[in-house]
Structure 1
Amino acid sequence: MKSMTSYAYLDGIVNGTDISCELKSYNSRFLDLNINIPSTITQLEPFLRKYFSKRIIRGKVDFYLRLKKLHNDQPILPNIPLAQSYYKSIADIAHALGMENQITLDLILRQEGVLQIDKNFDEELWQKALAPLLDELTEKFNACRIEEGKALSADIRKMLAVLSNSVAEIEKNAARMEQLFSAMLKKKFSELMEREPDPQRVMQETAVLLVKYTINEEIIRTKAHITALKKEIAENEAPGRRIDFLCQEINREINTIGSKNQLTEIGQAVISAKDALENIREQAHNIE
């Protein structure tokens, strides 16, 4: 199980050029991948998009690649006029805000277009050289997601225990519900026979009461959904959507039980179950 929230940063050298890579992600229902690279190497965007799409299932993911240091033998050219313009603009902003001017070369080099790769840029060569660095970055990124996923899994398991206990409490009191229902049914049956001794009519009224107050089927379905939920958490590496779906199904059954309920004990168990479900769903929104 992996969290959708993660962060990883890595410095490296690609074809003799110092670069930095940053990868961070947040919660999202689907994969929302944003590739942020200098305009001079936009040819790499399809490669990067394909790379991360194969390794991340869902989440809002931001990837940044920055060119940090020039080497004389590399086909990367500095745009001096643009760098000077950036420097002046940053200095003007610092002066206007009354801040100390602490402009560094690293800050200038990060700005869009300051470093330019010439037209002979070898895309395939960069892809091959960049791949090992991306693998290392993704490994760090996933390690963070897995670690946080363990904490999420522990919280969900605790809430599952509360949910299971609540359903067990409902099931324990279901027999009392049946006894109460049986007494109501006998009374209703007697009233019907006194004013309308029509057997078919009596059967119809009885069927309505059966549907209205019996909760055994809801309990059976709820327990089956909980079993499926536990299996997803134990076996599925990316169970977020499935957990959310099963929680919706369980919530539907619990709501039905609550609407049929005639006992205080069951009512309290229903509230406890719904609270646990809400917590599980909140955590599921953080899971890939």
Structure 2
Amino acid sequence: MAKSMTAFARQDRSSEAGELTWELRSVNHRFLEPHLRLPDDMRSLEPKVREVLGQRLSRGKIDASLRLGGRGGADGSAAELRVNTALLEQLLKAADKVATRIGEPAAPHMFDLLSWPGMLEEAPKDMDVLSSAALELLDQTLVDLVEARAREGERLKALLLERCDKLLERVAEVRERMPEVLTAVRARIAERLAEVRAELDETRLEQEMTLIAQRLDVDEEMDRLESHITEVRDSLDSDEPIGRRLDFLMQELNREANTLSSKSPDAAVTRAAVDMKVLIEQMREQVQNIE
């Protein structure tokens, strides 16, 4: 199955432990290259996240971003705040000392105390619970990403198969055209030889005719083109990563089309070879996105 390397997936989860959001973006790359953005207090997850990505993906540049929201339930309730009792005791003791020193009662205003830096703090998060939830959510997000890559891969597969069909049509055109081309070439050669045969060395003439015959023989190129197209079709049905194999096959197809073009003694065959190269280049561009 052809899988694209271009996709996007996002998953959110809210719980008493906190709110988590994963975003995964994938684009084409020669290898698997994860780029992670994790909250500072969840950096310890990085090795596990890389391991999970490596188990599900083979190639692509992956931007993986995890956001951690405040503690609260799915109903959107505010994060729980706690009073820093140790700091409060210190402030009250300091106020009492000042009151004793100046001989006046100490009566700090409640809101003055609450606005003191560090007096109110968010309840600590259970990082073990959050880490477990983050990894579970990552698995779900990866399922979405892999499915998106598969859907895009099916679209690319259809485009490649369509161009394979067109390539085979051009190969058939060349096969049909070549007998007529060879007949015309033989007629031209025979006509010219009739004019100068007396001046030619028979051995050299035989050698030249052999070279001409070899140069005009494109059956081998046609056979290899058909063979490579069959390999492309078979690869598109494989369950393994096929991007690199398809890239190699594109190089081989282009090599055969170039050879056909260089051997061509006929304008129609040359046009068919150019059409082949255009189709192969279109396929090569699509293949760059396949895992």
Corresponding residue of 1:24? 25
TM-score normalised according to structure 1 size:
0.75
Asked if 1:230 is matched to 2:268, the reply is no
Distance 1:169 1:194 in 2: 39
Contact 1:32 1:58 in 2 (8 A): yes
Counting matched residue pairs gives 244
Corresponding residue of 1:63? 64
Distance 2:223 2:30 in 1: 30
Corresponding residue of 1:142? 146
Counterparts of residues 244-259 of structure 1 (less than 5 Å): 244-259=247-262
Corresponding residue of 2:218? 215
1:128 deviates by: 4.4
Counterparts of residues 34-73 of structure 1 (less than 5 Å): 34-70=35-71
TM-score normalised according to structure 2 size:
0.74
Corresponding residue of 1:170? 174
Q: 1:117 to 1:32 in 2, by over 3 A?
A: farther
Corresponding residue of 2:283? 280
1:213 deviates by: 1.8
- The answer for unaligned runs of 5 or more in structure 2 is 73-78, 81-121
Matching residue's letter, 1:242: R
Q: Deviation string for 1:10-53 (max 9, x for gaps)?
A: 11258823211110111222222111112222211111111101
Matching residue's letter, 2:201: P
Contact 1:21 1:65 in 2 (8 A): yes
CA RMSD of aligned residues (A): 2.9
Q: 1:218 to 1:188 in 2, by over 3 A?
A: farther
1:194 deviates by: 3.5
1:197 deviates by: 2.9
Contact 2:17 2:130 in 1 (8 A): no
Say which one has the larger Rg.
2
Contact 1:15 1:129 in 2 (8 A): no
Identity of aligned residues (%): 31
Corresponding residue of 2:272? 269
Q: Deviation string for 1:47-84 (max 9, x for gaps)?
A: 111110121111111001111113679xxxxxxxxxxx
1:232 deviates by: 0.9
1:184 deviates by: 5.2
Distance 2:123 2:289 in 1: 39
- The answer for unaligned runs of 5 or more in structure 1 is 74-114
Distance 1:184 1:236 in 2: 53
Asked if 1:159 is matched to 2:163, the reply is yes
